[in-house]
Amino acid sequence: MATKNDPNGTGFQGMAVAPVDENGNVDTSSVAIIAAGTESGNITDMHGAAEETTQGLSPQYEAAEDFYDEVTSEGYTVSQVSGYSQSAYMLKVGANHGVPATVFNGWFSYDSLTDAEKEYMYDHPEDYVNYRRKNDEVTKYNDAFHGAAEEEHGTVVWVDGSSHDIADWKFGKNGEVVDKNGNPVSVATLTKAYDQGLQKWKSTTLNPLKESFKSGGYSDHEMIYMDYAQATAVAEVLSAVAQTGHEIIVGHRDQAVKDAEELYNSLKKRPWSVDKLSDDEIAAIYAEYGLDYEGIVGNIKEHFDAKVKTSQTVTEKFTKLSSTIKTQLQTMEEADSGLAKDIAGWKSGTV
């Protein structure tokens, strides 16, 4: 859509991108603006990083705001902004315009936010996500932020590791950030997945559908089909989100059982100070206090298995709901040949 290399010497580099459907149509109502992080070989970029460290806000912020205005002045609608490292100032850009922002390895002074931006971020914490690694020395050094109240800073997601490399972030099949074991790192991911799923449906299905229907108002058949499309989309997105939630719980269950088994196995090691008891006698003493396999591993597994079963049931219900909605529309089509003909035309694009 657009790119910008700041001519005023701040080192800002940004691009605006938008989804393209299978027919090559660009969805200008869902544009994302991404700002690059610091390039160690770029002197002006390094200067901007140093200024942000000492003064609390990178000089690139103003260039980012200018780029945002350039993009929207073309009639494009920005629905998401993102940045990395120094360009975590995109959190401020997003809060200023009421647009969601996601940044990675973001070192950023939240004190640089205006009162209005702080209030907006406080009211919409799930829309302002900063993924940081717990032992990333670059972010620690630059903003000395170690985990203040998250409700004042959007959602700060702390992930194990020390890497400051953007390429080390991994993503799941639904676009969620995952840890080294492939498990989503935050339940906040579910909210983002739901919002992104609906946004994708609006841009690829609802908006084109409304555009094709807009002349002369909506007929009864058009209203039926739009209601069906919306209900189906919500059900399918909820089903996908529920599945992601289920996978999170399964991942936690597996990790908890693994940790419990490691703890149990550690008890098999004879204490160095014990030399007059046999291994069986030591095991009997542990068991007397509930420190046997069932007490350590079995109880943990039973607890999490119940959670897994519940989440699986929820997922199946949402999947069934989507199927039920489709079946009901098929029943209506069978009873109304005119409706069936119209829907066939809308699906094929011939009407």
Render pLDDT for 7-66 as a digit per residue (tens, 0 to 9). 567 788 899 999 888 788 888 888 999 998 765 444 444 444 444 444 458 888 999 999
Domain termination residue (choose one: 168, 188, 209): 168
Reading the block at residue 349, the tokens are 């694009």
Are 195 and 188 contacting, i.e. CB atoms less than 8 angstroms apart? no
> Do 34 and 134 lie in a common domain?
yes
What does the pLDDT look like over 102-141, one tens digit per residue?
Answer: 999 888 888 888 999 988 888 888 788 888 888 888 877 7
Which pLDDT value is given to residue 65?
A: 93
| Residue at 84 is within a domain | yes
Reading the block at residue 10, the tokens are 């701040």
> Do 107 and 224 lie in a common domain?
no
Alpha carbon distance 203, 349 (integer Å)? 16
What is the four-CA torsion angle of 104, 109, 115, 121, rounded to 10 degrees?
Answer: 20
| Residue at 185 is within a domain | no
Alpha carbon distance 212, 208 (integer Å)? 6
Which pLDDT value is given to residue 150?
A: 42
Q: Indicate which CATH number applies to the domain containing 51.
A: 3.40.50
> Do 154 and 18 lie in a common domain?
yes
Which pLDDT value is given to residue 145?
A: 57
Alpha carbon distance 211, 206 (integer Å)? 8
Are 61 and 89 contacting, i.e. CB atoms less than 8 angstroms apart? yes
> Do 326 and 220 lie in a common domain?
yes
Domain enclosing residue 287, as ranges? 197-348
The amino acid at 306:
A
Alpha carbon distance 67, 80 (integer Å)? 14
Domain count, the chain: 2
| Residue at 321 is within a domain | yes
Give the helix, strand, coil percentages of the chain, each rounded to 5.
60, 10, 30
Are 91 and 108 contacting, i.e. CB atoms less than 8 angstroms apart? yes
> Do 337 and 203 lie in a common domain?
yes
> Do 125 and 204 lie in a common domain?
no
The amino acid at 341:
K
Alpha carbon distance 80, 31 (integer Å)? 7
Which pLDDT value is given to residue 43?
A: 45
Helix (H, G, I), strand (E, B) or coil at 27: coil
Please, what is the angle between helix 337-348 and helix 220-266, to 10°? 60
Which pLDDT value is given to residue 44?
A: 47
pTM for the model stands at 0.54
Which pLDDT value is given to residue 52?
A: 45
| Strands in 6-69 per DSSP E | 13-17, 31-35
Reading the block at residue 190, the tokens are 């579910």
Alpha carbon distance 65, 98 (integer Å)? 13
Which pLDDT value is given to residue 151?
A: 41
Alpha carbon distance 79, 99 (integer Å)? 6
Q: Indicate which CATH number applies to the domain containing 340.
A: 1.10.287
Domain termination residue (choose one: 119, 149, 168): 168
Are 35 and 101 contacting, i.e. CB atoms less than 8 angstroms apart? no
Residues in the chain with pLDDT values less than 50: 40-55, 148-151
Alpha carbon distance 37, 57 (integer Å)? 14
